[in-house]
Amino acid sequence: MPTRPFRTDLYLSLPLFLSSLLASNHHPLPPFLSLRLLSPSLKMSTTRRTTRLNGSAAAPFVPSTQTNGHANGSSSPSGSSTNEVRTKGKATVDGKKKTFWEEYEVPRKALHASIGFVVLALNKLDPPTLKPLIIFLSVGLVACLSVDALRLNVPACEKLFERAMGPMMRDEEKTKINGINWYLMGVIFVLSFYPRDVAVLSILILSWADTAASSFGRLCSAFRYNPRLPRRVFFGLIPFSSSKSLAGFLAAWATGFVVAVGYYGGGPGGGVSRGGHVDWRVLEWKRGVFVTGQMVGMVAAVTEALDVGSLDDNLTLPIVSGGLVWAFLAFSSSYL
């Protein structure tokens, strides 16, 4: 049976057309992002064309499955620049199997989660004002941005920084602002504008719920009953990232629930909000604490899975989750 000729010219023309479209003023994208979006198509077309010209049987094409930081173990077009392939849960980079520390980003996750314990320790001290802490974090943000400016513009500084902080960085961060800057921006914002208890809770969601979602998503990436979340929910009004999975969503929900119940539990006088007392009427009975925990868990899961476009979720997660939790506490304490 004659086989249909493979129209290589059509497949090669599509990336060129997309490249010109992305380079236009109507669709501005950084050059490295355009290349990453187009490179899989170019590689596939070139490989098939070369194989056909050589007259040998074409090998099956293995798509590049990349993870984007908080991707819950699913593929994403905005992932790392290395050719990462997952086969039955095992990831390889350029044909070499990743170590456990590389696969699950253990140093990065440990740092991410440790900030929650630091926040709880500082909150336990119950300082009369957060102004000194905000000033200290702002100075740290300026220092981190200055280091990033040197790293992105001076090759020698870039090599030195990557040699020292390589295990803490993802490949996509090597060509853009480091995630720690967005982390500090989000923390400074919530500490400056939200009630203290809500600010602390939103930082705990960022530190622990986000880490749990990413870790469990990666662990369950090869599980057949771990589907990706739908792209849009609630009548299409809430967009979810295409890289988020059910396992990561449930992990974020459970972590948010446990954090909220542990943080607000104890009834009147037992909470750890502003001044060591409960500020919200809904938290004055145990059922209210349970309902608040479920609400915080849902908020943590939804905000962690949100598609925020080009924004970094280290910035949007504490701000959006804190705002929703604050709105719920204010409404429920006033009208319930």
Stronger pLDDT, 252 or 99, i.e. the higher one: 252
Residue 199 lies in a domain: yes
For the chain, what is the domain count? 1
What are the residues facing 232 on neighbouring strands? 239
Q: How far apart are CA 288 and CA 272, in angstroms?
A: 16
Give me the count of residues in the chain. 336
pLDDT (average), residues 157-185:
82
pLDDT of residue 100: 60
Q: Quote the pTM value.
A: 0.67
| Parent domain of 110 | 103-120+194-335
pLDDT (average), residues 117-122:
89
pLDDT (average), residues 289-296:
94
Between 31-54 and 8-22, two packed helices, what is the crossing angle to 10 degrees? 170
Residue 301 lies in a domain: yes
pLDDT of residue 101: 62
Q: How far apart are CA 280 and CA 288, in angstroms?
A: 10
Residue 139 lies in a domain: no
Stronger pLDDT, 251 or 78, i.e. the higher one: 251
Q: In sequence order, which residues have a C-beta less than 8 Å from that of residue 67 and are 6 or more positions away?
A: 73, 74, 75, 76, 79, 80, 84, 218, 243
Residue 263 lies in a domain: yes
Residue 271 lies in a domain: yes
Residue 28 lies in a domain: no
Stronger pLDDT, 273 or 172, i.e. the higher one: 172
pLDDT of residue 8: 44
In the predicted model, what is the mean pLDDT of the chain?
74
Task: Judge whether residue 281 has pLDDT over 70.
Answer: yes
Residue 298 lies in a domain: yes
Residue 255 lies in a domain: yes
